[in-house]
Structure 1
Amino acid sequence: MFVDVLLVCLIFRILNVTVCQDIDNYEKLYNDLFNNQYNPDLKPVSNGTKNMTITIAFFNLGLNHFDEVNGILSVSGGLEISWFDNSLKWNPKDYNGISEMLVSKSVVWLPQVTLMTDAQQLQPFGANCLLKILIRHDGFIYWTPADIINSKCAANIRKFPYDEQECSILFMAWDITWKTHLQPASIPYNDFYEKKHPDWNTKSVISRQGKVVGNTYEFVFKIKREPLYYNILVFLPVALLSLLNPLVFLLPHECGERLGYGITILLSFVIFLTLASDKIPATSNPISFLIIFIIMVFVASAVITLLNIINVYLFYKSDYELKGFFKHIYIIFKKRRKNQVFPVEKYTVNYKNIAIGLDRFCFVLSYIAMLSFITVYFIVLQY
């Protein structure tokens, strides 16, 4: 028993000595690197005329939200930034095999990589990030600041809700001397930790040089909206109402709900137009095809309501008999059996006959119009 206790104490003693030696080696390495006239305000280049190369890679943690009304893309993600600092090199053999070390970002020179498409505040990316910096013995430094990126992105809602958006997240090496260049890493984009969004699908992310070659680099997000919600909530009710609207001409004139039926459907289109317009930007170019479709069926519904009022007025007008030209026009369009002969002089035509005939004509015409609007809407979405 005594031997076991002695053995345990000996093991703890050895571990304690090893840990203390490692701490001493890290402290010695830290002091040698940063207490030997190292200045974090100076760019780590041996010659002030040389260019500084910064390698960046973007890792995407997921799309948070796309505000198409205000034109803001919100993405959780960050950059893996690396560069070379010749003054922060050491031989691992001199420090008990230590090949890398984590330090605070305040003691090391940092590149001013700025998000140029920031929708809130223009500042160096990761300015508020508290993550430490990794320094390797060969002088290469790695920093992975992460944040919620709110980038400006103008929405193209022409095909809403079947729209696809292309948003660019542009980074720039903010250097007044224009001698700090950005270049992509071997794997410039990583979506391994990306979380799927319920309303948007990320089709692709393209990394490429910005317009200012060397100093800028951008990551272009191509996202596609899931249209099911808007199809069920907006398009399907509008399409059904547009097909129900012409049925007003089949209701009997004696039915007191004939005018109320048409006006109710007309007001329903206004509600769906308001619902759709709240979800898209208030812009004149481009205008959403869905908004145009709702406006067209709304105008058609207004015309149907007007014709319905005229027909009701004609139906209850006095039994004044029409003669001459109007009588002949009505008889021509009146359906008769084949080879049936009927004396024109004995045929009586009044306003009630006109109203009934107009009901049939308007019913067919309005159905053709509504079906045409729906067909054209689906055709234009293909282009």
Structure 2
Amino acid sequence: MFVDVLLVCLIFRILNVTVCQDIDTYEKLYNDLFNNQYNPDLKPVSNVTMTITIAFFNLGLNHFDEVDGILSVSGGLEISWFDNSLKWNPKDYNGISEMLVSKSVIWFPHLTLMTDAQQLQPFGANSLFKILIRHDGFIYWTPADIINSKCAANIRKFPYDEQECSILFMAWDITWKTHLQAASVPYIDYYENKHPDWNTKGVISRQGKIFGNTSHEFVFKIKREPLYYNILVFLPVSLLSLLNPLVFLLPHECGERLGYGITILLSFVIFLTLASDKIPATSNPISFLIVFIIMVFVASAVITFLNIINAYLFYKSDYELKGFFKDMYVIFKKRRKNQVIPEEKCKINYKDIAIGLDRFCFVLSYIAMLTFITVYFIVLQY
């Protein structure tokens, strides 16, 4: 029993000595690297071009506000660069090959998110993520944050639209003799949960310049899931547009024709308001869905107008139609050439005209509504 206790005490003693030695070694390495000669405000190289490598890692698409034009993404950058003054031999420090330090004691590149929707400031300026220094002088920093980037939405094919949103970074205060390049794997996707309304189709990494300054952007391609808007907007509008012409089949005596038409007309206004609340208030480009709803709304207004005219003619049945209009009606009512029509059937009143117009308007309005729906699907393919 005494031997066991002695063995345990010996093990703890060895571990304690090892930990203390490691702490002392880290402290010695830290003091050797960041002595009085190192200045975190000075760029590591001044007379040669410095290469800064970046890669973007995506933690999830939070939200895309097409009305305000803001893409919200949780993610960050893996930034790496070389500092010759921060190299050491691991053999001299008990095999320590890397260490973490606060960004307040070391120089780091100030990369600005140029598409920031709030304010321009160095990315990760307020982050507490430490910086990793390797013994060979390569330094790695991975600041992460919620990125709110400006993105003008193209809602022409809403809700079947695809958006391209750029997240643009630029070395704001170290522009000269600085080369900003993408890593061998410029984009890393770390998240598994998909956004319920948007699917990320891919991310393109490309390099460029802004006013001669080096920059790098990551272009997100996202596609909307249209099922919600198909069920909530397009399907009801299409069904109402096909029900609207049926007003001409209702008998005038029921007295509900006008109320039926006006109810459908007002329903289009409700769906137009519902769709317009989801898209930006812009004239260029305008959504095909909005154009479609406006067209069926105008057609519904014309149907309501013709319904009122037909009702007026129907209840003016005591007046006999004469002259040119009577001759035209008789011509259209003929089934065969040289057909003999009894004289009593040649007496035409406005009620007969209203019944004939109902049939004509029913066919014409149905053709118009089907045409609008067909054209809408055709233009979505281009």
Could you tell me how far 1:338 is from its partner in structure 2? Answer: 8.5
Cα gap change, 1:382 to 1:152, in 2 (>3 Å): same
Tell whether the 8 Å contact from 2:175 to 2:213 is kept in structure 1 after alignment.
no
Moved over 6 A (4+): none
TM-score (norm 1): 0.96
Gap change, CA 1:137 and 1:75, over 3 Å in 2: same
Mean Cα displacement is larger for which, 190-199 or 29-38? 190-199
Q: Is the 8 A contact 2:98 2:134 kept in 1?
A: yes
Query: Which position in structure 2 is the counterpart of 1:46?
Result: 46
| Contact 1:273 1:295 survives alignment (8 Å) | yes
Aligned to 2:15: 15
RMSD: 1.6
What is the rounded CA distance, in whole Å, between the counterparts of 2:202 and 2:342 in structure 1? 75
Q: Against the structure 1 CA distance between its residues 177 and 267, is the aligned structure 2 distance closer, same or farther, given a 3 Å change threshold?
A: closer
User: Which 10-residue stretch deviates more, 208-217 or 188-197?
Assistant: 208-217
SS in 2 for 1:301: helix
Q: Distance in 2 between matches of 1:76 and 1:361?
A: 59
Which structure 1 segments of 5+ residues have no match? none
SS across alignment from 1:211: strand
| 2:101 corresponds to | 103
Q: Sequence identity of aligned pairs in percent?
A: 92
Cα gap change, 1:346 to 1:377, in 2 (>3 Å): closer
Q: Deviations over 1:156-194 (max 9, x none)?
A: 000000001011111001135522220111111101335
Cα 1:26–1:367 change in 2 (3 A) is: same
Separation (CA, whole Å) in 1 of partners of 2:129 and 2:74: 16
Q: What SS class does the counterpart of residue 320 from structure 2 fall into?
A: coil
Tell me the SS of whatever aligns to 2:203: strand
Displacement of 1:261: 0.2
Would you say the 8 A contact 2:59–2:189 is kept in 1?
A: yes
The size of the alignment, in residue pairs, is 381
* Structure 2: gaps of 5 or more residues: none
Q: 1:20 to 1:206 in 2, by over 3 A?
A: same
CA change 1:346–1:63 in 2 (3 A) is: closer
Counterpart in the other structure of 1:178:
176
1:77 is matched with which residue?
A: 75
- Closer/same/farther in 2, CA of residues 266 and 177 from structure 1, 3 Å limit: closer
Give 1:36 shift: 3.6
Q: Say if 1:183 and 1:214, in contact at 8 Å, map to a contact too.
A: no
Aligned-residue offset at 1:382: 0.3
TM-score (norm 2): 0.96
Q: Name which of structure 1's ranges 53-62 and 31-40 shifts more when overlaid on structure 2.
A: 31-40
Cα distance change of structure 1 residues 335 and 75 upon mapping to structure 2, 3 Å threshold: farther
Q: CA 1:155 to 1:270, structure 2 compared with 1: closer, same or farther past 3 Å?
A: same
Give the 3-state SS of the residue equivalent to 1:337 in structure 2: coil
Closer/same/farther in 2, CA of residues 209 and 46 from structure 1, 3 Å limit: closer
Residues 87 and 135, structure 2, Cα contact 8 Å, conserved in 1? yes
SS at match of 1:299: helix
Deviations 1:21-59 (A, max 9, x none): 00000011111111242110000015378xx21100000
Contact kept? 1:304, 1:366, Cα under 8 Å: yes
CA distance in 2, matches of 1:89, 1:272: 66
Higher mean C-alpha deviation, range 266-275 or range 334-343: 334-343
Q: In the TM superposition, what is the alpha-carbon distance from 1:286 to its structure 2 partner?
A: 0.5
Residues 71-100 of structure 1, C-alpha deviations (whole Å, 9 max, x = no match): 111111000000011111111111111000
CA shift digits 1:282-314 (9 cap, x unpaired): 000000000000000000000000000000011
- CA contact 1:54–1:81 (8 Å) conserved in 2: yes
In the TM superposition, residue 62 of structure 1 has moved relative to its aligned partner by 1.1
